[in-house]
Amino acid sequence: GAVVSQHPSRVICKSGTSVKIECRSLDFQATTMFWYRQFPKQSLMLMATSNEGSKATYEQGVEKDKFLINHASLTLSTLTVTSAHPEDSSFYICSARDIDRPLGETQYFGPGTRLLVL
Amino acid sequence: GQNIDQPTEMTATEGAIVQINCTYQTSGFNGLFWYQQHAGEAPTFLSYNVLDGLEEKGRFSSFLSRSKGYSYLLLKELQMKDSASYLCAVMDSNYQLIWGAGTKLIIKP
Protein backbone atom coordinates (compact mmCIF):
# COMPACT_ATOMS: atom_id res chain seq x y z
CA GLY A 1 0.00 0.00 0.00
CA ALA A 2 0.87 3.64 -0.25
CA VAL A 3 3.25 5.10 2.30
CA VAL A 4 3.32 8.53 3.88
CA SER A 5 6.23 9.61 6.02
CA GLN A 6 6.52 12.42 8.54
CA HIS A 7 9.61 14.02 9.94
CA PRO A 8 10.48 14.48 12.70
CA SER A 9 8.56 11.88 14.66
CA ARG A 10 9.10 13.78 17.86
CA VAL A 11 10.37 17.27 18.67
CA ILE A 12 10.92 19.27 21.82
CA CYS A 13 11.44 22.99 21.50
CA LYS A 14 11.54 26.13 23.57
CA SER A 15 8.65 28.52 23.67
CA GLY A 16 8.91 31.17 20.96
CA THR A 17 10.79 29.06 18.45
CA SER A 18 9.45 27.75 15.15
CA VAL A 19 9.15 24.10 14.24
CA LYS A 20 8.82 22.63 10.76
CA ILE A 21 7.16 19.28 10.15
CA GLU A 22 7.47 17.51 6.81
CA CYS A 23 4.97 15.17 5.25
CA ARG A 24 5.98 13.12 2.23
CA SER A 25 4.10 10.70 0.01
CA LEU A 26 6.71 8.10 -0.87
CA ASP A 27 5.24 6.17 -3.76
CA PHE A 28 2.44 8.29 -5.16
CA GLN A 29 1.67 11.86 -6.07
CA ALA A 30 -0.52 13.65 -3.60
CA THR A 31 -2.26 16.71 -4.96
CA THR A 32 -3.99 17.12 -1.62
CA MET A 33 -2.63 16.66 1.87
CA PHE A 34 -4.39 17.19 5.16
CA TRP A 35 -2.98 18.35 8.46
CA TYR A 36 -4.59 17.22 11.69
CA ARG A 37 -3.94 17.94 15.32
CA GLN A 38 -4.88 15.62 18.12
CA PHE A 39 -4.81 16.47 21.81
CA PRO A 40 -4.64 13.66 24.38
CA LYS A 41 -7.79 11.57 24.58
CA GLN A 42 -9.46 13.62 21.84
CA SER A 43 -10.24 12.86 18.23
CA LEU A 44 -8.53 14.19 15.15
CA MET A 45 -9.13 17.83 14.40
CA LEU A 46 -8.58 18.92 10.81
CA MET A 47 -6.42 22.03 10.74
CA ALA A 48 -6.04 22.66 7.05
CA THR A 49 -6.20 21.18 3.59
CA SER A 50 -3.07 21.64 1.55
CA ASN A 51 -3.27 21.70 -2.23
CA GLU A 52 -0.17 21.48 -4.38
CA GLY A 53 0.69 24.79 -5.95
CA SER A 54 -1.97 26.82 -4.20
CA LYS A 55 -2.75 28.27 -0.80
CA ALA A 56 -3.93 25.99 1.96
CA THR A 57 -7.51 26.07 3.16
CA TYR A 58 -7.67 26.51 6.91
CA GLU A 59 -10.45 25.34 9.18
CA GLN A 60 -12.28 27.82 11.31
CA GLY A 61 -10.30 28.80 14.36
CA VAL A 62 -6.91 27.83 12.97
CA GLU A 63 -4.53 30.77 12.65
CA LYS A 64 -3.01 30.95 9.18
CA ASP A 65 -0.07 33.06 10.31
CA LYS A 66 0.78 30.70 13.11
CA PHE A 67 0.50 27.44 11.21
CA LEU A 68 2.19 27.98 7.87
CA ILE A 69 1.58 25.33 5.26
CA ASN A 70 3.55 24.91 2.07
CA HIS A 71 2.75 22.27 -0.52
CA ALA A 72 5.45 22.98 -3.04
CA SER A 73 5.54 19.63 -4.79
CA LEU A 74 3.29 16.65 -5.41
CA THR A 75 5.09 14.63 -2.76
CA LEU A 76 5.87 17.14 -0.01
CA SER A 77 3.87 19.37 2.29
CA THR A 78 5.30 21.18 5.29
CA LEU A 79 3.65 22.59 8.39
CA THR A 80 5.56 25.24 10.30
CA VAL A 81 4.40 26.10 13.78
CA THR A 82 5.66 29.63 14.27
CA SER A 83 6.44 31.09 17.67
CA ALA A 84 5.36 27.89 19.35
CA HIS A 85 3.87 28.01 22.84
CA PRO A 86 3.16 25.25 25.34
CA GLU A 87 -0.49 25.13 24.28
CA ASP A 88 0.68 24.10 20.79
CA SER A 89 2.03 20.87 22.24
CA SER A 90 0.10 18.15 20.48
CA PHE A 91 0.23 15.22 18.10
CA TYR A 92 0.30 16.47 14.51
CA ILE A 93 -0.69 14.01 11.80
CA CYS A 94 -0.72 14.46 8.05
CA SER A 95 -2.56 12.44 5.48
CA ALA A 96 -2.21 12.40 1.74
CA ARG A 97 -4.79 11.73 -0.92
CA ASP A 98 -3.99 9.57 -3.92
CA ILE A 99 -6.55 10.59 -6.51
CA ASP A 100 -5.65 7.69 -8.76
CA ARG A 101 -7.08 5.25 -6.25
CA PRO A 102 -10.72 4.43 -5.53
CA LEU A 103 -12.41 6.63 -2.94
CA GLY A 104 -12.14 3.96 -0.30
CA GLU A 105 -8.38 3.97 -0.52
CA THR A 106 -7.74 7.64 -1.01
CA GLN A 107 -6.27 8.78 2.28
CA TYR A 108 -3.08 7.53 3.82
CA PHE A 109 -1.82 8.74 7.16
CA GLY A 110 1.68 9.57 8.20
CA PRO A 111 2.94 8.22 11.54
CA GLY A 112 2.49 11.55 13.28
CA THR A 113 4.77 14.08 14.95
CA ARG A 114 4.64 14.65 18.66
CA LEU A 115 5.47 18.25 19.52
CA LEU A 116 6.33 19.34 23.03
CA VAL A 117 6.87 23.03 23.64
CA LEU A 118 8.58 23.88 26.91
CA GLY B 1 -24.37 21.13 10.59
CA GLN B 2 -22.38 17.97 10.17
CA ASN B 3 -22.30 15.50 13.01
CA ILE B 4 -20.87 12.08 13.72
CA ASP B 5 -21.86 10.29 16.93
CA GLN B 6 -20.25 7.26 18.48
CA PRO B 7 -19.96 6.05 22.07
CA THR B 8 -17.06 7.46 24.04
CA GLU B 9 -15.93 4.22 25.60
CA MET B 10 -16.80 0.53 25.56
CA THR B 11 -15.51 -2.46 27.49
CA ALA B 12 -15.49 -6.05 26.30
CA THR B 13 -13.95 -9.38 27.24
CA GLU B 14 -11.18 -11.16 25.39
CA GLY B 15 -12.65 -13.70 22.98
CA ALA B 16 -16.05 -12.02 22.88
CA ILE B 17 -17.77 -9.90 20.21
CA VAL B 18 -18.33 -6.15 20.36
CA GLN B 19 -20.30 -3.79 18.14
CA ILE B 20 -19.38 -0.12 17.91
CA ASN B 21 -22.12 2.07 16.50
CA CYS B 22 -21.83 5.27 14.53
CA THR B 23 -24.59 7.61 13.41
CA TYR B 24 -24.04 10.51 11.09
CA GLN B 25 -25.58 13.60 9.54
CA THR B 26 -23.45 15.11 6.82
CA SER B 27 -23.62 17.31 3.74
CA GLY B 28 -23.58 14.60 1.14
CA PHE B 29 -22.14 11.13 1.41
CA ASN B 30 -19.24 9.52 -0.39
CA GLY B 31 -18.63 6.66 1.95
CA LEU B 32 -17.98 5.83 5.58
CA PHE B 33 -14.63 4.79 6.99
CA TRP B 34 -13.55 3.02 10.14
CA TYR B 35 -10.04 3.53 11.47
CA GLN B 36 -8.21 2.00 14.39
CA GLN B 37 -5.88 4.15 16.44
CA HIS B 38 -3.60 2.90 19.18
CA ALA B 39 -2.45 5.43 21.74
CA GLY B 40 0.32 7.64 20.42
CA GLU B 41 0.04 6.34 16.89
CA ALA B 42 -1.61 7.49 13.69
CA PRO B 43 -4.92 5.96 12.57
CA THR B 44 -4.85 2.84 10.43
CA PHE B 45 -7.52 2.04 7.88
CA LEU B 46 -9.96 -0.75 8.72
CA SER B 47 -12.90 -0.51 6.35
CA TYR B 48 -14.84 1.51 3.82
CA ASN B 49 -18.56 1.25 3.09
CA VAL B 50 -20.34 3.19 0.39
CA LEU B 51 -23.25 0.83 -0.33
CA ASP B 52 -25.73 -0.55 2.17
CA GLY B 53 -24.86 -3.86 3.71
CA LEU B 54 -22.18 -5.75 5.50
CA GLU B 55 -18.52 -5.87 4.54
CA GLU B 56 -16.54 -8.63 6.19
CA LYS B 57 -12.79 -8.62 6.54
CA GLY B 58 -11.43 -11.30 8.81
CA ARG B 59 -12.42 -10.68 12.42
CA PHE B 60 -13.74 -7.24 11.57
CA SER B 61 -16.99 -6.43 9.77
CA SER B 62 -18.59 -3.11 8.98
CA PHE B 63 -22.24 -2.42 8.23
CA LEU B 64 -23.88 0.58 6.60
CA SER B 65 -27.45 1.80 6.27
CA ARG B 66 -27.50 5.04 4.33
CA SER B 67 -31.24 5.61 4.84
CA LYS B 68 -30.72 5.49 8.61
CA GLY B 69 -27.41 7.34 8.64
CA TYR B 70 -26.00 4.45 10.61
CA SER B 71 -23.00 2.19 10.63
CA TYR B 72 -21.43 -0.29 12.98
CA LEU B 73 -18.08 -1.97 13.31
CA LEU B 74 -18.22 -5.54 14.57
CA LEU B 75 -15.16 -7.08 16.13
CA LYS B 76 -15.15 -10.83 16.73
CA GLU B 77 -12.86 -13.06 18.77
CA LEU B 78 -11.50 -10.06 20.59
CA GLN B 79 -7.82 -10.00 21.39
CA MET B 80 -5.99 -7.81 23.88
CA LYS B 81 -4.28 -6.02 20.98
CA ASP B 82 -7.70 -4.79 19.84
CA SER B 83 -7.68 -2.34 22.73
CA ALA B 84 -7.59 0.97 20.88
CA SER B 85 -9.74 3.85 19.79
CA TYR B 86 -12.00 3.26 16.81
CA LEU B 87 -12.78 6.27 14.66
CA CYS B 88 -15.78 6.60 12.39
CA ALA B 89 -15.42 9.09 9.53
CA VAL B 90 -17.74 10.08 6.69
CA MET B 91 -16.56 11.52 3.39
CA ASP B 92 -18.88 14.38 2.52
CA SER B 93 -19.86 15.87 -0.83
CA ASN B 94 -16.57 17.78 -0.96
CA TYR B 95 -14.64 14.53 -0.47
CA GLN B 96 -13.54 15.72 2.93
CA LEU B 97 -13.50 13.37 5.91
CA ILE B 98 -15.73 14.33 8.82
CA TRP B 99 -14.52 12.59 11.96
CA GLY B 100 -16.31 11.21 14.97
CA ALA B 101 -14.74 11.67 18.38
CA GLY B 102 -13.73 8.02 18.52
CA THR B 103 -14.69 5.10 20.74
CA LYS B 104 -12.12 3.86 23.19
CA LEU B 105 -12.39 0.09 23.40
CA ILE B 106 -11.03 -1.59 26.50
CA ILE B 107 -10.51 -5.34 26.36
CA LYS B 108 -10.39 -7.23 29.64
CA PRO B 109 -8.94 -10.71 30.08
A74 vs A79: CA distance, rounded Å? 15
Question: In a mutagenesis test of the A interface, which of B9, B32, B94, B96 is the best target, namely the one with the most A β-carbons within 10 Å?
Answer: B96
- DSSP 3-state percent helix, strand, coil across chain B (nearest 5): 5, 55, 40
Give residue B80's identity as a one-letter amino acid code.
M
Q: Cβ–Cβ of A104/B50 closer than 8 Å?
A: yes
Q: Are A108 and A5 a contacting pair, CB within 8 Å?
A: no
B103 vs B22: CA distance, rounded Å? 9
Q: Say what the pLDDT of residue A72 is.
A: 82
Residue A14 scores a pLDDT above 80: yes
Helix, strand or coil, per DSSP, at residue B100: coil
Mean model confidence pLDDT for chain A: 90
Q: Say what the pLDDT of residue A1 is.
A: 61
Identify which of A43, A104, A114 has the shortest CB distance to residue B87: A43
B45 vs A56: CA distance, rounded Å? 25
Q: pLDDT, tens digit, for every residue of B30-67?
A: 999 999 999 888 899 899 999 999 999 999 999 999 99
Residue A106 scores a pLDDT above 70: no
